Copies of this chain bind each other. A is one copy, B any other.
Amino acid sequence: MDAYKAITTKRDTRSYTDEPIDPEVMRRVLQAGRMAGSSKNTQPVRLIATQDKAWMEELATCGKFSDPLKAARAAVAIVCAPDGSDFDAGRAAQNMMVAAWNEGIASCPTSVHDQDCGRGKLGLPEGWRVVVIVALGHPDPKVPMSLNAKRRPWEEYVRWERWGEPVASSQ
């Protein structure tokens, strides 16, 4: 699908069917994360993927709102080096989620509130952290995709030149 359409119709979605994710689709999702740019090409991010339901349930115990992981067909932990930025992690995650949606796969990032839990289970080296774990699966057709999910008005979200300028100033 056209990139603009994929980007603007992607919604964070928490309910999935039991249908497995095609291995080639998983490969594309992971490759999309790998190709994300990073500060000075330092590539501080790594991906730890799983399609093991029991393992996803286990990882879900490290977050407060991890129900999407229990419902997911795949999960990808976005882990980051000690000196890496969450900004670069967000770039990789968004690439993955848009690439997934391009293949009809819905997704949602879940927070890892207990970092000791997440780091320990994933066996991360000293100082590395789990930024989020992305849940993935075919969207449950019974659950609305909230395609009309509210966004702040354009005039509030987009400004020109300075914070206080109205949108009309330079368009």
On A, residues with C-beta under 8 Å from B are 1-8, 10-12, 23, 28, 30-37, 39, 41, 43, 45-52, 55, 79, 85-91, 93-95, 97-99, 101-103, 108-109, 111, 121-125, 131-132, 149-152, 154, 156-164, 170-171
For the A-B complex with A46-B163, A91-B94 known, give 20 more contacts whose Cβ atoms are closer than 8 Å: A1-B2, A3-B99, A4-B28, A7-B35, A11-B37, A23-B171, A34-B154, A39-B111, A43-B152, A48-B161, A79-B163, A85-B86, A85-B90, A86-B86, A87-B132, A88-B90, A90-B90, A90-B91, A91-B93, A123-B164
Once the chains are docked, how many angstroms separate the CA of A166 from the CA of B106?
A: 26
| Interchain CB contact under 8 A, B124 and A163 | yes
Selected from B23, B30, B160, the residue in CB contact (under 8 A) with A158 is B30
Shortest CB-to-CB span from A50 to chain B, Å, is 5
* B12 contacts A37, C-beta separation under 8 Å: yes
A10 touches B37 (CB 8 A): yes
Bound complex: CA A103 to CA B154 (Å): 21
Q: Are A34 and B151 in contact (CB under 8 A)?
A: yes
Chain B residue with minimal CB distance to A26? B171
A149 CA to B51 CA, complexed, in Å: 30
Which of B10, B41, B48 meets A160, CB within 8 Å?
A: B48
17 example contacts (A-B, Cβ-Cβ < 8 A) are as follows: A3-B98, A30-B157, A31-B154, A34-B154, A34-B157, A39-B109, A46-B158, A47-B159, A48-B162, A48-B163, A52-B161, A55-B161, A85-B90, A87-B132, A91-B91, A122-B163, A123-B164
